[in-house]
Amino acid sequence: MAIVTIDGGTAVGEGLLQLLKADEIEPGTEPSYQVCKALYTLHPLGAKMAEAPIRMAQSQPRTVTVQNHPPEVAEEFELVWTQFCCQTHILNLRCLSRVYGMASLVLGCKDAPTDQALDMKKLWELPIFFNVFDPLNMSGSAIMNQVPNTPEFNQVVRVVCNGKNYHRSRFRVVMNEQTIYIDFTPSTFGFTGRSVYQRALYPMKSYIKTMIANDSIAGKIALFIAKLKSPGGVINKVMQGIAAFKRMLLKAATNGEIATIDLTEEIETLDMNNVDTAGTFARDNILKDCATAANMPAKLLQNETMIGGMAEGTEDAKNISKYIDGERLEMKPDYDWFDNIIRYRAWMNPAFFTRIKSLYPEEYENVTHEAAFSEWCRAFKATWPSMLVEPPGEQAKGEAVKFEAMVAVAELLMPQLDPDNKLEVVEWLCDNLSQIKTLLPRELNLDVDKLLAHFEENKDRENKSFEASLQNDNADGGGKPAGRGAQSRNDSLSHFRSALARLPGRPVAAAVQ
Indicate whether 465 pLDDT > 70: no
**Least confident interval from 18-22, 108-112, 162-166, 214-218:** 18-22
**268-326: pLDDT as tens digits:** 666 666 677 777 778 888 888 888 888 888 888 876 544 444 444 457 778 888 889 99
At residue 408 the predicted structure's pLDDT band, cuts being 50, 70 and 90, is confident
Report the pLDDT value the prediction gives residue 448, as an integer from 0 to 100: 61
Strongest mean pLDDT among 19-23, 47-51, 255-259: 47-51
**375-400: pLDDT as tens digits:** 999 999 999 988 876 666 666 777 78
- Say how far apart CA 216 and CA 210 lie, in whole Å: 10
| Angle subtended at Cα 72 by Cα 70 and Cα 75, rounded to the nearest 5 degrees | 130
**Are 48 and 301 contacting, i.e. CB atoms less than 8 angstroms apart?**
yes
Radius of gyration of the chain (CA): 35
| Angle subtended at Cα 185 by Cα 182 and Cα 189, rounded to the nearest 5 degrees | 105
- Residue 345's region, left for phi above 0, alpha for psi from -120 to 50, else beta, is alpha
- Say how far apart CA 343 and CA 256 lie, in whole Å: 71
The Cβ of residue 380 has, within 10 Å, a number of other Cβ atoms equal to 19
The Cβ of residue 61 has, within 10 Å, a number of other Cβ atoms equal to 12
Strand partners, 129: 108
Range 432-440 contact pairs with CB under 8 angstroms and sequence separation of 24 or more: 432/402, 432/406, 433/403, 433/406, 436/399, 436/402, 436/403, 437/399, 438/392, 438/395, 438/396, 438/399, 439/396, 439/399, 439/400, 439/403, 440/399, 440/403
Query: How far does the chain reach from its first CA to its final CA, in angstroms?
Result: 65
**415-442: pLDDT as tens digits:** 877 767 877 888 788 778 777 776 666 6
Report the pLDDT value the prediction gives residue 23, as an integer from 0 to 100: 62
- Say how far apart CA 440 and CA 433 lie, in whole Å: 8
Nearest Cα to Cα of residue 345 among 33, 111, 130, 25: 130
- Say how far apart CA 116 and CA 169 lie, in whole Å: 9
Taking the domains of the chain in order of start, what are their residue ranges?
3-199, 224-269, 392-512
Residue with more model confidence, 255 or 196:
196
